[in-house]
Amino acid sequence: MRRLLRALAIFCAAIVGLQVFSAPSAVAADISQDADAVAKSAGQKWALKSLANGKYVSVDLNETDTQLQWRLRARADSVGSWERFTLHTNHRAKTMGLRSEVTGFLVTAEFNDGGDREGMLRARGARLGQWQQFTPEYVNEKPPAGSPEGSQVLAFTATPTGGAPKYVTAEVGEAGDGLLRARGTKLGSWEKFVLEPAAAAGDDQPPQVSAGNAATLNVMSWNVCANNNNNCGWSDDRAGFAELNEEIKRRLKSPDVILFQEFCEKHAKRVEWMLEDHTGRGWDVRFAPVHHQAGGPSIQKQCAMGPAPDSADRGAFGIAIAVPEENVWYKRHDLSSPDPHEHEQRSALCAARPARAVMVCNAHLTAGGADFGDPDGVWRTKQAGQLAGIVKTYEQRGYRTIFGGDFNSVPPDHTESDPPNTVLVDTYAEYRECDENSITGRPRDGEATKPLGDRAIKIDYIFAQDTAEFSSCSVTADAGKSDHYPVYGTVRLPGN
Protein backbone atom coordinates (compact mmCIF):
# COMPACT_ATOMS: atom_id res chain seq x y z
CA MET A 1 0.00 0.00 0.00
CA ARG A 2 2.79 2.39 0.96
CA ARG A 3 4.59 1.84 -2.36
CA LEU A 4 1.36 2.36 -4.28
CA LEU A 5 0.98 5.70 -2.52
CA ARG A 6 4.57 6.54 -3.39
CA ALA A 7 3.94 5.79 -7.07
CA LEU A 8 0.87 8.02 -6.94
CA ALA A 9 2.95 10.79 -5.34
CA ILE A 10 5.53 10.54 -8.13
CA PHE A 11 2.77 10.75 -10.74
CA CYS A 12 1.26 13.80 -9.06
CA ALA A 13 4.67 15.42 -8.83
CA ALA A 14 5.12 14.88 -12.55
CA ILE A 15 1.80 16.61 -13.23
CA VAL A 16 2.86 19.51 -11.01
CA GLY A 17 6.12 19.63 -12.93
CA LEU A 18 4.26 19.96 -16.22
CA GLN A 19 2.27 22.86 -14.81
CA VAL A 20 5.40 24.56 -13.56
CA PHE A 21 7.30 24.10 -16.82
CA SER A 22 4.59 26.12 -18.57
CA ALA A 23 5.31 29.11 -16.32
CA PRO A 24 8.03 31.76 -16.88
CA SER A 25 11.70 31.19 -16.22
CA ALA A 26 11.78 31.84 -12.45
CA VAL A 27 10.88 28.16 -11.90
CA ALA A 28 13.77 25.71 -11.74
CA ALA A 29 14.34 23.39 -14.66
CA ASP A 30 14.72 20.33 -12.43
CA ILE A 31 11.49 19.77 -10.47
CA SER A 32 12.23 16.17 -9.44
CA GLN A 33 14.09 17.15 -6.25
CA ASP A 34 11.33 19.59 -5.24
CA ALA A 35 8.33 17.28 -5.54
CA ASP A 36 8.08 16.47 -1.81
CA ALA A 37 9.57 19.65 -0.44
CA VAL A 38 7.76 20.06 2.84
CA ALA A 39 6.51 16.62 3.80
CA LYS A 40 6.54 15.92 7.54
CA SER A 41 8.38 19.03 8.66
CA ALA A 42 7.96 20.32 12.21
CA GLY A 43 8.68 23.88 11.08
CA GLN A 44 6.34 26.62 12.33
CA LYS A 45 3.55 27.51 9.91
CA TRP A 46 2.43 31.12 9.40
CA ALA A 47 -0.50 33.01 7.90
CA LEU A 48 -0.59 36.54 6.46
CA LYS A 49 -3.58 38.79 7.01
CA SER A 50 -3.98 42.06 5.09
CA LEU A 51 -4.63 45.02 7.37
CA ALA A 52 -6.37 46.72 4.45
CA ASN A 53 -9.31 44.31 4.22
CA GLY A 54 -8.86 41.93 7.18
CA LYS A 55 -8.58 38.90 4.87
CA TYR A 56 -6.01 36.11 4.94
CA VAL A 57 -3.64 35.72 2.02
CA SER A 58 -4.53 32.59 0.04
CA VAL A 59 -2.85 30.69 -2.80
CA ASP A 60 -5.31 30.45 -5.68
CA LEU A 61 -5.36 26.82 -6.80
CA ASN A 62 -8.59 27.15 -8.78
CA GLU A 63 -7.19 29.50 -11.43
CA THR A 64 -7.03 27.79 -14.85
CA ASP A 65 -5.03 30.50 -16.65
CA THR A 66 -1.43 29.26 -16.52
CA GLN A 67 -0.17 32.85 -16.24
CA LEU A 68 -2.19 33.32 -13.05
CA GLN A 69 -1.84 29.91 -11.41
CA TRP A 70 -1.01 29.89 -7.71
CA ARG A 71 -1.29 33.68 -7.39
CA LEU A 72 -1.67 35.16 -3.91
CA ARG A 73 -4.79 37.09 -2.94
CA ALA A 74 -6.01 38.51 0.40
CA ARG A 75 -9.47 36.96 0.28
CA ALA A 76 -9.89 34.18 2.89
CA ASP A 77 -11.84 34.44 6.15
CA SER A 78 -10.03 31.57 7.90
CA VAL A 79 -6.75 29.66 7.70
CA GLY A 80 -6.45 26.33 5.91
CA SER A 81 -3.69 24.70 3.87
CA TRP A 82 -4.06 27.32 1.10
CA GLU A 83 -3.27 30.05 3.65
CA ARG A 84 -0.31 28.46 5.48
CA PHE A 85 3.36 29.17 4.76
CA THR A 86 6.76 28.39 6.24
CA LEU A 87 9.45 31.08 6.44
CA HIS A 88 12.98 30.52 5.11
CA THR A 89 16.20 32.53 5.05
CA ASN A 90 19.75 32.25 3.78
CA HIS A 91 20.70 35.69 5.15
CA ARG A 92 20.30 35.16 8.93
CA ALA A 93 16.68 36.37 8.88
CA LYS A 94 17.56 39.64 7.18
CA THR A 95 15.52 38.32 4.25
CA MET A 96 12.76 35.74 4.21
CA GLY A 97 11.09 33.48 1.70
CA LEU A 98 7.57 32.08 2.04
CA ARG A 99 6.99 28.45 1.06
CA SER A 100 3.35 27.57 0.39
CA GLU A 101 2.11 24.55 2.29
CA VAL A 102 -0.33 23.64 -0.46
CA THR A 103 2.00 23.86 -3.48
CA GLY A 104 5.34 23.16 -1.77
CA PHE A 105 6.91 26.02 -3.74
CA LEU A 106 8.23 29.45 -2.80
CA VAL A 107 6.34 32.69 -3.31
CA THR A 108 7.82 34.54 -6.30
CA ALA A 109 7.51 38.19 -7.38
CA GLU A 110 6.92 38.08 -11.15
CA PHE A 111 9.07 41.00 -12.24
CA ASN A 112 9.41 39.75 -15.82
CA ASP A 113 5.66 39.90 -16.42
CA GLY A 114 4.00 43.01 -17.77
CA GLY A 115 0.70 44.82 -17.44
CA ASP A 116 -1.62 43.64 -14.67
CA ARG A 117 0.73 40.74 -13.88
CA GLU A 118 3.82 42.86 -13.23
CA GLY A 119 5.20 42.08 -9.77
CA MET A 120 2.35 39.64 -9.03
CA LEU A 121 3.11 37.14 -6.26
CA ARG A 122 2.73 33.45 -7.13
CA ALA A 123 3.63 30.34 -5.08
CA ARG A 124 5.67 28.60 -7.76
CA GLY A 125 9.40 29.23 -7.13
CA ALA A 126 11.52 26.09 -6.89
CA ARG A 127 14.56 27.87 -5.40
CA LEU A 128 15.21 30.63 -2.90
CA GLY A 129 16.58 33.11 -5.43
CA GLN A 130 16.38 36.89 -5.60
CA TRP A 131 12.71 37.01 -6.61
CA GLN A 132 11.81 34.60 -3.78
CA GLN A 133 13.52 36.64 -1.05
CA PHE A 134 11.66 39.47 0.66
CA THR A 135 13.06 42.00 3.10
CA PRO A 136 10.77 42.32 6.13
CA GLU A 137 10.08 45.69 7.74
CA TYR A 138 8.52 45.25 11.17
CA VAL A 139 5.97 47.99 11.86
CA ASN A 140 5.59 49.43 15.35
CA GLU A 141 1.86 48.73 15.60
CA LYS A 142 -0.10 46.35 17.76
CA PRO A 143 -1.78 43.49 15.88
CA PRO A 144 -5.59 43.67 15.79
CA ALA A 145 -7.46 42.44 18.85
CA GLY A 146 -7.86 38.67 18.80
CA SER A 147 -4.63 38.00 16.91
CA PRO A 148 -2.78 34.87 18.10
CA GLU A 149 0.11 35.29 20.51
CA GLY A 150 3.32 35.91 18.58
CA SER A 151 1.65 37.89 15.78
CA GLN A 152 3.50 40.87 14.30
CA VAL A 153 2.62 43.69 11.94
CA LEU A 154 5.02 43.98 9.04
CA ALA A 155 5.55 45.16 5.50
CA PHE A 156 7.97 43.52 3.09
CA THR A 157 9.74 44.44 -0.11
CA ALA A 158 10.99 42.54 -3.13
CA THR A 159 13.77 43.76 -5.42
CA PRO A 160 13.66 43.38 -9.21
CA THR A 161 16.93 42.66 -11.00
CA GLY A 162 18.79 45.96 -11.26
CA GLY A 163 15.90 47.90 -9.75
CA ALA A 164 14.79 49.53 -6.52
CA PRO A 165 12.91 47.57 -3.81
CA LYS A 166 9.11 47.45 -4.14
CA TYR A 167 6.64 47.05 -1.31
CA VAL A 168 4.25 44.11 -1.52
CA THR A 169 0.74 45.55 -1.83
CA ALA A 170 -2.65 43.91 -1.30
CA GLU A 171 -4.78 45.55 -3.98
CA VAL A 172 -8.07 45.58 -2.14
CA GLY A 173 -9.91 47.90 -4.50
CA GLU A 174 -12.68 46.53 -6.66
CA ALA A 175 -10.38 45.77 -9.60
CA GLY A 176 -7.60 44.26 -7.51
CA ASP A 177 -9.70 41.72 -5.60
CA GLY A 178 -6.99 41.40 -2.94
CA LEU A 179 -4.21 40.55 -5.42
CA LEU A 180 -0.70 40.75 -3.98
CA ARG A 181 1.86 42.55 -6.14
CA ALA A 182 5.33 43.93 -5.44
CA ARG A 183 4.82 47.42 -6.82
CA GLY A 184 4.46 49.88 -3.90
CA THR A 185 6.89 52.78 -3.54
CA LYS A 186 5.87 53.84 -0.05
CA LEU A 187 4.33 52.33 3.07
CA GLY A 188 0.58 52.70 3.35
CA SER A 189 -2.36 50.67 4.63
CA TRP A 190 -2.33 48.35 1.59
CA GLU A 191 1.28 47.44 2.34
CA LYS A 192 0.73 46.31 5.95
CA PHE A 193 0.11 42.71 6.96
CA VAL A 194 -0.20 40.73 10.16
CA LEU A 195 2.06 37.68 10.34
CA GLU A 196 0.25 35.13 12.52
CA PRO A 197 1.47 31.76 13.85
CA ALA A 198 -0.72 29.08 12.32
CA ALA A 199 -0.78 25.43 13.34
CA ALA A 200 -2.27 22.55 11.43
CA ALA A 201 -5.12 20.75 13.17
CA GLY A 202 -3.93 18.23 15.73
CA ASP A 203 -3.21 17.59 19.38
CA ASP A 204 -0.17 19.31 20.84
CA GLN A 205 0.30 16.36 23.21
CA PRO A 206 1.42 12.86 22.19
CA PRO A 207 -1.02 9.94 22.20
CA GLN A 208 -1.73 8.35 25.55
CA VAL A 209 -0.06 4.98 25.92
CA SER A 210 -0.72 1.98 28.10
CA ALA A 211 2.02 -0.04 29.77
CA GLY A 212 4.59 -1.27 27.30
CA ASN A 213 6.20 -4.69 27.19
CA ALA A 214 9.99 -5.00 27.34
CA ALA A 215 11.40 -4.06 23.96
CA THR A 216 14.76 -4.22 22.20
CA LEU A 217 15.58 -1.51 19.65
CA ASN A 218 18.51 -0.92 17.32
CA VAL A 219 19.36 2.79 17.25
CA MET A 220 21.68 4.62 14.88
CA SER A 221 22.83 8.24 15.09
CA TRP A 222 24.84 10.01 12.41
CA ASN A 223 25.72 13.61 11.61
CA VAL A 224 25.62 13.42 7.81
CA CYS A 225 27.22 16.86 7.26
CA ALA A 226 24.88 17.51 4.35
CA ASN A 227 24.77 21.31 4.24
CA ASN A 228 27.94 23.14 3.18
CA ASN A 229 31.19 22.11 4.85
CA ASN A 230 34.48 21.78 3.01
CA ASN A 231 35.63 19.21 5.59
CA CYS A 232 33.17 16.79 4.03
CA GLY A 233 33.41 14.98 0.72
CA TRP A 234 30.09 15.79 -0.91
CA SER A 235 29.88 17.21 -4.42
CA ASP A 236 30.76 20.91 -4.13
CA ASP A 237 30.70 20.26 -0.33
CA ARG A 238 26.91 19.75 -0.49
CA ALA A 239 25.02 16.48 -0.44
CA GLY A 240 22.59 15.53 -3.18
CA PHE A 241 19.89 13.06 -2.19
CA ALA A 242 21.23 10.24 -4.43
CA GLU A 243 24.74 10.18 -2.96
CA LEU A 244 23.39 10.81 0.55
CA ASN A 245 21.15 7.74 0.22
CA GLU A 246 24.10 5.62 -0.86
CA GLU A 247 26.19 6.77 2.11
CA ILE A 248 23.36 6.06 4.55
CA LYS A 249 22.44 2.72 2.96
CA ARG A 250 25.91 1.22 3.29
CA ARG A 251 25.93 2.06 7.02
CA LEU A 252 22.57 0.55 7.96
CA LYS A 253 22.54 -2.27 10.52
CA SER A 254 18.90 -3.41 10.83
CA PRO A 255 17.81 -0.10 12.39
CA ASP A 256 14.59 0.51 14.29
CA VAL A 257 15.30 4.24 14.77
CA ILE A 258 17.80 6.59 13.09
CA LEU A 259 18.82 10.06 14.30
CA PHE A 260 20.25 12.41 11.64
CA GLN A 261 21.97 15.76 12.21
CA GLU A 262 23.01 18.42 9.67
CA PHE A 263 20.22 17.25 7.39
CA CYS A 264 18.40 19.06 4.56
CA GLU A 265 14.60 19.14 4.56
CA LYS A 266 14.09 18.02 0.97
CA HIS A 267 16.16 14.90 1.51
CA ALA A 268 13.60 13.56 3.99
CA LYS A 269 11.21 11.94 1.55
CA ARG A 270 13.99 10.45 -0.58
CA VAL A 271 15.69 8.93 2.47
CA GLU A 272 12.32 7.56 3.58
CA TRP A 273 11.80 5.83 0.23
CA MET A 274 15.34 4.43 0.28
CA LEU A 275 14.78 2.96 3.75
CA GLU A 276 11.55 1.34 2.62
CA ASP A 277 13.17 -0.21 -0.44
CA HIS A 278 16.22 -1.36 1.53
CA THR A 279 14.42 -2.80 4.58
CA GLY A 280 11.11 -3.91 3.02
CA ARG A 281 8.98 -2.09 5.61
CA GLY A 282 7.35 1.30 5.98
CA TRP A 283 9.20 4.33 7.38
CA ASP A 284 8.54 7.96 8.16
CA VAL A 285 11.30 10.58 8.20
CA ARG A 286 10.41 13.59 10.35
CA PHE A 287 12.32 16.88 10.06
CA ALA A 288 12.83 19.94 12.30
CA PRO A 289 14.68 23.12 11.25
CA VAL A 290 17.16 25.36 13.00
CA HIS A 291 16.35 29.08 12.90
CA HIS A 292 17.69 32.59 12.67
CA GLN A 293 15.98 35.66 14.11
CA ALA A 294 16.57 39.38 13.55
CA GLY A 295 13.97 41.54 15.27
CA GLY A 296 11.05 39.46 14.06
CA PRO A 297 9.87 35.85 14.04
CA SER A 298 12.15 32.83 13.99
CA ILE A 299 12.86 31.99 10.34
CA GLN A 300 14.11 28.62 9.16
CA LYS A 301 17.72 28.51 8.02
CA GLN A 302 18.02 27.30 4.44
CA CYS A 303 20.42 24.58 3.32
CA ALA A 304 22.88 25.91 0.77
CA MET A 305 21.95 25.24 -2.86
CA GLY A 306 22.63 21.68 -3.96
CA PRO A 307 25.61 20.44 -5.98
CA ALA A 308 26.23 21.81 -9.46
CA PRO A 309 25.18 21.73 -12.23
CA ASP A 310 21.53 21.56 -11.06
CA SER A 311 22.07 23.67 -7.92
CA ALA A 312 18.80 22.38 -6.49
CA ASP A 313 17.02 23.95 -3.54
CA ARG A 314 17.35 21.46 -0.67
CA GLY A 315 14.92 23.12 1.73
CA ALA A 316 15.61 24.06 5.33
CA PHE A 317 18.58 22.93 7.44
CA GLY A 318 18.18 20.92 10.63
CA ILE A 319 17.75 17.48 12.14
CA ALA A 320 15.61 14.45 11.34
CA ILE A 321 14.35 11.20 12.86
CA ALA A 322 13.57 8.06 10.85
CA VAL A 323 10.95 5.92 12.59
CA PRO A 324 8.65 3.09 11.50
CA GLU A 325 5.48 4.31 9.81
CA GLU A 326 3.36 3.62 12.90
CA ASN A 327 4.53 7.10 14.00
CA VAL A 328 1.62 9.54 13.98
CA TRP A 329 2.94 12.27 16.28
CA TYR A 330 6.12 14.36 16.40
CA LYS A 331 7.09 17.74 17.77
CA ARG A 332 9.88 20.32 17.60
CA HIS A 333 11.20 21.81 20.85
CA ASP A 334 13.25 25.01 20.52
CA LEU A 335 16.36 25.17 22.72
CA SER A 336 17.92 28.24 24.31
CA SER A 337 20.70 29.39 21.99
CA PRO A 338 23.26 32.24 21.65
CA ASP A 339 22.44 35.66 20.15
CA PRO A 340 19.69 35.00 17.56
CA HIS A 341 20.90 37.88 15.36
CA GLU A 342 24.20 36.10 14.77
CA HIS A 343 23.88 32.42 15.62
CA GLU A 344 21.68 29.45 14.80
CA GLN A 345 18.78 28.75 17.14
CA ARG A 346 18.92 25.02 17.77
CA SER A 347 15.99 22.61 18.19
CA ALA A 348 15.23 19.12 19.46
CA LEU A 349 12.83 16.80 17.65
CA CYS A 350 10.80 14.04 19.28
CA ALA A 351 8.74 11.30 17.61
CA ALA A 352 6.43 8.76 19.24
CA ARG A 353 6.18 5.02 18.71
CA PRO A 354 2.88 4.55 20.59
CA ALA A 355 2.58 0.80 19.91
CA ARG A 356 5.79 0.28 21.87
CA ALA A 357 5.28 3.14 24.34
CA VAL A 358 8.58 4.63 23.14
CA MET A 359 9.49 8.29 22.56
CA VAL A 360 12.66 9.07 20.61
CA CYS A 361 14.30 12.52 20.66
CA ASN A 362 17.16 13.92 18.57
CA ALA A 363 19.20 17.10 19.02
CA HIS A 364 22.21 18.90 17.61
CA LEU A 365 23.56 21.22 20.28
CA THR A 366 25.34 24.50 19.56
CA ALA A 367 28.94 24.17 18.39
CA GLY A 368 31.75 25.32 20.66
CA GLY A 369 34.10 28.23 20.13
CA ALA A 370 33.68 31.99 19.92
CA ASP A 371 32.55 31.81 16.28
CA PHE A 372 29.45 29.91 17.38
CA GLY A 373 28.74 31.94 20.51
CA ASP A 374 29.53 29.29 23.13
CA PRO A 375 33.26 29.21 23.96
CA ASP A 376 32.71 28.11 27.57
CA GLY A 377 29.89 25.60 27.04
CA VAL A 378 27.29 27.71 28.87
CA TRP A 379 24.67 27.37 26.13
CA ARG A 380 25.35 23.68 25.53
CA THR A 381 24.91 22.99 29.23
CA LYS A 382 21.54 24.79 29.14
CA GLN A 383 20.51 22.87 26.04
CA ALA A 384 21.49 19.52 27.52
CA GLY A 385 19.42 20.31 30.61
CA GLN A 386 16.45 21.37 28.50
CA LEU A 387 16.66 18.19 26.43
CA ALA A 388 16.64 16.08 29.60
CA GLY A 389 13.64 18.07 30.82
CA ILE A 390 11.78 17.43 27.56
CA VAL A 391 12.47 13.72 27.85
CA LYS A 392 11.14 13.70 31.42
CA THR A 393 7.80 15.15 30.34
CA TYR A 394 7.30 12.18 28.01
CA GLU A 395 8.33 9.72 30.71
CA GLN A 396 5.63 11.23 32.92
CA ARG A 397 3.11 10.35 30.20
CA GLY A 398 4.14 6.69 30.26
CA TYR A 399 6.74 6.61 27.47
CA ARG A 400 10.08 4.81 27.63
CA THR A 401 12.64 7.22 26.21
CA ILE A 402 15.69 7.16 23.94
CA PHE A 403 17.52 10.33 22.94
CA GLY A 404 20.80 11.38 21.41
CA GLY A 405 22.52 13.16 18.55
CA ASP A 406 25.51 15.43 18.05
CA PHE A 407 26.02 17.25 21.36
CA ASN A 408 29.23 19.04 20.30
CA SER A 409 30.70 18.23 23.72
CA VAL A 410 33.14 15.64 25.03
CA PRO A 411 32.05 13.30 27.85
CA PRO A 412 32.85 14.05 31.52
CA ASP A 413 35.76 11.58 31.75
CA HIS A 414 37.43 12.72 28.53
CA THR A 415 41.16 13.19 29.14
CA GLU A 416 42.31 15.16 26.08
CA SER A 417 42.42 18.96 25.95
CA ASP A 418 38.95 19.62 24.50
CA PRO A 419 37.19 21.69 27.17
CA PRO A 420 34.68 21.87 28.59
CA ASN A 421 33.94 18.30 29.66
CA THR A 422 31.18 19.35 32.08
CA VAL A 423 28.25 19.84 29.66
CA LEU A 424 26.82 16.32 30.12
CA VAL A 425 27.60 15.65 33.79
CA ASP A 426 23.91 15.81 34.81
CA THR A 427 22.79 13.84 31.77
CA TYR A 428 25.13 10.95 32.66
CA ALA A 429 23.93 11.11 36.26
CA GLU A 430 20.30 10.59 35.25
CA TYR A 431 20.49 8.46 32.10
CA ARG A 432 22.48 5.59 30.65
CA GLU A 433 24.71 6.25 27.64
CA CYS A 434 25.33 3.64 24.97
CA ASP A 435 29.12 3.44 25.52
CA GLU A 436 29.08 4.03 29.27
CA ASN A 437 31.51 1.84 31.30
CA SER A 438 33.28 0.59 28.17
CA ILE A 439 36.64 2.13 29.17
CA THR A 440 38.23 0.97 32.40
CA GLY A 441 38.68 3.83 34.83
CA ARG A 442 36.71 6.26 32.66
CA PRO A 443 33.06 5.13 32.89
CA ARG A 444 31.69 8.36 31.39
CA ASP A 445 33.67 8.15 28.16
CA GLY A 446 33.51 6.09 25.00
CA GLU A 447 34.68 5.40 21.49
CA ALA A 448 35.52 8.46 19.39
CA THR A 449 32.96 9.68 16.84
CA LYS A 450 34.61 12.80 15.39
CA PRO A 451 37.97 12.60 13.58
CA LEU A 452 40.26 15.58 14.16
CA GLY A 453 43.34 15.18 12.00
CA ASP A 454 45.67 12.77 13.82
CA ARG A 455 43.19 12.01 16.62
CA ALA A 456 39.45 11.78 17.32
CA ILE A 457 36.96 12.68 20.09
CA LYS A 458 33.52 11.53 21.20
CA ILE A 459 30.74 14.10 20.69
CA ASP A 460 27.86 11.88 19.40
CA TYR A 461 25.63 10.03 21.85
CA ILE A 462 22.76 7.60 22.37
CA PHE A 463 21.10 7.79 25.81
CA ALA A 464 18.25 5.78 27.33
CA GLN A 465 16.48 5.74 30.68
CA ASP A 466 18.65 4.56 33.55
CA THR A 467 16.79 1.24 33.88
CA ALA A 468 17.55 0.32 30.25
CA GLU A 469 20.42 -1.96 29.23
CA PHE A 470 22.63 -1.59 26.18
CA SER A 471 23.65 -5.00 24.88
CA SER A 472 25.94 -3.45 22.29
CA CYS A 473 27.41 -0.09 21.34
CA SER A 474 29.73 0.51 18.41
CA VAL A 475 31.18 3.19 16.18
CA THR A 476 32.08 2.58 12.55
CA ALA A 477 35.29 4.56 12.05
CA ASP A 478 34.39 5.48 8.47
CA ALA A 479 33.18 9.04 8.04
CA GLY A 480 32.86 8.66 4.29
CA LYS A 481 31.50 11.95 2.98
CA SER A 482 30.67 13.22 6.46
CA ASP A 483 33.01 14.47 9.18
CA HIS A 484 31.46 12.21 11.84
CA TYR A 485 31.37 8.46 12.39
CA PRO A 486 27.96 6.78 12.80
CA VAL A 487 27.07 5.41 16.25
CA TYR A 488 25.02 2.24 16.84
CA GLY A 489 23.38 1.02 20.01
CA THR A 490 21.14 -1.94 20.81
CA VAL A 491 19.06 -1.14 23.87
CA ARG A 492 16.64 -3.24 25.88
CA LEU A 493 13.90 -1.16 27.46
CA PRO A 494 12.19 -2.69 30.52
CA GLY A 495 8.45 -3.14 30.62
CA ASN A 496 6.46 -0.53 32.48
Q: pLDDT band at 132, cuts 50/70/90? A: very high
Q: How confident is the model at residue 229 (pLDDT cuts 50, 70, 90)?
A: very high
Give the least confident one: 30-34, 189-193, 224-228, 250-254. Answer: 30-34
Render pLDDT for 149-171 as a digit per residue (tens, 0 to 9).
999 999 999 999 899 999 999 99
Query: Rounded to whole angstroms, how far apart are CA atoms 55 and 46?
Result: 14
Q: Using pLDDT thresholds of 50, 70 and 90, give the confidence band for residue 24.
A: very low
Question: How does the average pLDDT of the chain come out, rounded?
Answer: 90
Residues whose CB is less than 8 angstroms from the CB of residue 452 and which lie 6 or more positions away in sequence, other chains included:
none
Residues 219/462, Cβ–Cβ less than 8 Å: yes
Q: How confident is the model at residue 261 (pLDDT cuts 50, 70, 90)?
A: very high
Task: Name residue 59's beta-bridge partners.
Answer: 72
- With cut-offs at 50, 70 and 90, classify the pLDDT of residue 312: confident
* pLDDT beyond 70 at 31: no
Q: What is the pLDDT of residue 40?
A: 67
What is the torsional sign of CA 33, 481, 420, 431?
Answer: positive
End-to-end CA distance of the chain: 33
Q: Decide if 391 contacts 349 (C-beta within 8 A).
A: no
pLDDT in the model for residue 204:
84
Q: pLDDT, tens digit, for every residue of 271-300?
A: 999 999 999 999 999 999 999 999 899 999
How confident is the model at residue 35, as a pLDDT? 45
Asked if 437 and 443 touch (Cβ cutoff 8 Å), the reply is yes
Does residue 3 register a pLDDT over 80? no
pLDDT classification of 2: cutoffs 50, 70, 90 = low
pLDDT(25) > 80: no
pLDDT value at 250 more than 70:
yes
Question: Could you tell me if 182 and 79 are in contact, meaning their C-beta atoms sit under 8 angstroms apart?
Answer: no
Report which of residues 357 and 204 the model is more confident about. Answer: 357
Q: Once rounded to an integer, what is the mean pLDDT over residues 324-345?
A: 94
Q: What is the pLDDT of residues 194-215, one digit of tens each?
A: 999 997 555 688 999 988 889 9
**What is the pTM assigned to this prediction?**
0.91
Residue 495 CB partners (closer than 8 Å, separation 6+): 211, 212, 213, 214
Percent of the chain with pLDDT over 90: 79
In the chain, the domains with their CATH numbers are 40-198 (2.80.10.50), 215-493 (3.60.10.10)
Nearest to 127 by CA among 317, 308, 313, 307: 313
Coil, helix or strand at residue 475: strand
CA distance linking residue 69 with residue 61, whole number of Å: 7
CB contact at 8 A, 92 and 342 = yes
- pLDDT, one tens digit per residue, over 95-106 is 999 999 999 999
pLDDT at position 26? 39
Q: What is the pLDDT of residue 19?
A: 34
Integer-rounded Cα radius of gyration of the chain: 23
Round to whole Å and give the CA distance between 123 and 104: 8
